Amino acid sequence: MAPESRGDIRELERRALAIRRNILRLIKAGKAGHVGGALSMAEVLAALYFRVMRIDPARPDWPERDRLVVSAGHKALVLYAALAARGYFPEELLDTYGALASRLPGHPDMHKLPGVEASTGALGHGLSISGGMALGLRLSGLGSRVFVVMGDGELAEGSNWEAAAAASHHKLDNLVVIVDRNGLQISGPTVEVMTYEPLEERWRSFGWATRRVDGHDIPAILKALGEAPFQKGRPSAIVADTVKSKGFRFAEGKVEYHYWKPPAEEIQQAEADLDEIERTLVG
């Protein structure tokens, strides 16, 4: 990837804001949702969908496309928000979130919406599915890559470590994990609930090459994603330090916003916070 100009960075920051606005739009339609871990991934998904991944929203089944699997399926809001922003489907569809038989269910369904690569929700499934995709792409002689967004709390699922071992055994260097290390899960801080720290060491001991980035710093995210695979013949794990509910200042870093059923005044506050971000993005 070419070095990023200031204008490129600013454009992706605006895309991340648009994703956050779409997340709020979804919440307004559905009256509730898993907002904290969606907002924390806005920059990463902006970078992936608007810069890094080789994709064509008009051809969501293009065999040579790169794939993104959101293993922590409760991050559905950021996936829907990014897919809509990238033009996979009309943004009006976001307003059906929460309705009966919506094409945007509480967890993503690959058969309902273009651009959704796997039906996730139960934790600890996405990495093995993604590993299978990476293996299948390689067997088919395609150079496509598979990106996987995982939660840090999700890492307690043992099935992830089966998948991680198999990925390095099979030398899947077309597989890139991004761990959303926002440090919080439903019951409290992840290090208190069930720690898998130090995360990078865990991944490295399973044969992965790792990087650590500030998950809200677009140049840093682009640099890490651009350098993957970090080592030939090894899968890559990027531990992204993030702030849960990033962008809604009143909710940032607060565990109670893992799932949010907002009163009207908090919706207004969220809108004001996003407007404030927009003012910083001029020029």
Partner 1 sequence: MKRGEMKDPRKTFGEAVLSQAEVDARIVVLSADSSSGSGLAPFKKRFPERHLEFGIMEQGVIGYASGLATTGKIPFVAAIAPFLTSRPFEMVRNDIGYMRQNVKIVGRSAGLTYSDLGPTHQSIDDTALLRTIPGMVVICPGDPIELVKAVKAVSEHVGPVYLRVGSPAIPVLYGSDEDCPFQIGRGIVMLDGKELTLIGTGAALPRALAAAEALRAEGVGVRLISMPTVKPLDRELLLKAARETGRIVTVEEHYVTGGLGGAVAELLAQERPTPMRMVGVKDRFPPSGPYEDVLRDNGLQPDQIAAVVREFLKA
Q: Stretches 6-14, 41-49, 125-133, 195-203: which one binds partner 1 (CB under 8 A)?
A: 125-133
Give the nearest distance from C-beta 122 to partner 1 in angstroms: 6
Spatial separation of the C-alpha atoms in residues 212 and 204, rounded to whole Å: 12
Closer residue to partner 1, CB minimum distance, 110 or 194 = 110
Among 131, 229, 247, 262, binds partner 1 (CB under 8 A): 131
By CB under 8 A, tell whether 117 contacts partner 1. yes
Spatial separation of the C-alpha atoms in residues 145 and 168, rounded to whole Å: 15
Task: Identify which of 90, 64, 41 has the alpha carbon closest to the alpha carbon of residue 240.
Answer: 41
Spatial separation of the C-alpha atoms in residues 70 and 29, rounded to whole Å: 22
Q: Stretches 43-51, 122-130, 204-212, 226-234: which one binds partner 1 (CB under 8 A)?
A: 122-130
By CB under 8 A, tell whether 118 contacts partner 1. yes
By CB under 8 A, tell whether 130 contacts partner 1. yes
By CB under 8 A, tell whether 35 contacts partner 1. no
Of residues 47 through 106, those in contact with partner 1 by CB under 8 A are: 63
By CB under 8 A, tell whether 141 contacts partner 1. no
Give the nearest distance from C-beta 141 to partner 1 in angstroms: 11
Give the CA distances from residue 136 to residues 16, 64, 130, 172, in Å, rounded to whole numbers and listed in that order.
31, 12, 10, 10
Give the nearest distance from C-beta 210 to partner 1 in angstroms: 20
Spatial separation of the C-alpha atoms in residues 81 and 45, rounded to whole Å: 9
Give the nearest distance from C-beta 30 to partner 1 in angstroms: 21
By CB under 8 A, tell whether 153 contacts partner 1. no
Phi–psi pair at 148, nearest 5 degrees:
-130, 125
Among 122, 194, 272, 281, binds partner 1 (CB under 8 A): 122
Q: Stretches 29-37, 118-126, 208-216, 265-273: which one binds partner 1 (CB under 8 A)?
A: 118-126
Give the nearest distance from C-beta 137 to partner 1 in angstroms: 6
By CB under 8 A, tell whether 184 contacts partner 1. no
Phi–psi pair at 281, nearest 5 degrees:
-100, 15
Closer residue to partner 1, CB minimum distance, 148 or 179 = 148
Closer residue to partner 1, CB minimum distance, 131 or 153 = 131
